[in-house]
Amino acid sequence: MALNTPIGLTPASFDNMITGAGAGYTNLALTEGMTAETVSPLLQAALEAGECLGATRGGFSFDFSYETRDIEADGKTFPFKGSTTLTVMNASVSTTLLEVTPGVLSRVFSNSELNTDKNHMRFRMQFTEDSYIPEMWFIMALIGGGYVGIKMQNVLNIEGSSPTTTPDGEMELPGNFRAHQASLTDSQYGPAEIFWFYPEETPPEP
């Protein structure tokens, strides 16, 4: 009898892969259970309303790592279920933005303040409540159709930015956007969620 070769690739594998760099958005009203057909016009509307982070270079790099601690006690000689605790949950994304607009820069510099006409920016010396972006979404397309969306809450660009110009290129605006818990007692779930928005006629693959 011929033995099967251990392999994870299936005919549906490529459909489940993400293609392209994706895009970042603010004030995107997406909820669980939406279809790709519902989400698509909302993405276009957000783009036209200036709620998109605009052009990027190098896509997005996500960090959902966490830190743990092993409880030490007399009589414990090896790790077992329940002896490892979660101490820190990271939720951040780094990217390089290219468009130098008031809207983009106000998100890159979390301590910024725009005037009413949005043609003058100043930098505050501390973060305030409105420094936090309530929600940021990062939407990526699946090869087989539909989207994967990552929602991050209470977001700050924790490093500011060091814009760079070149004689033969475009200014780059690197940013590292980190999500935050809403409060000290908000500790059941981390400040990030992942959603799948499938086309109406395409059932999700397990």
SS3 call for 15:
helix
End-to-end CA distance of the chain: 29
Whole-angstrom distance, CA of residue 156 vs CA of residue 154:
7
According to the model, what pLDDT value does residue 184 have? 86
Contact 53, 43 (CB under 8 A): no
β strands within the chain, DSSP E? 18-26, 56-63, 66-70, 84-89, 92-97, 112-114, 121-123, 133-142, 147-157, 173-178, 192-197
For residue 77, what pLDDT is reported? 87
Distance, CA of 197 to CA of 168 (rounded, Å): 40
The answer to whether residues 24 and 52 touch, using CB atoms and an 8 Å cutoff, is: yes
What pLDDT, in 10s, does the model give residues 35-48? 999 999 999 999 99
For residue range 141-170, list pLDDT tens digits in order.
999 999 999 999 999 998 889 998 989 999
pLDDT given for residue 80 in this prediction: 87
SS3 for 23?
Answer: strand
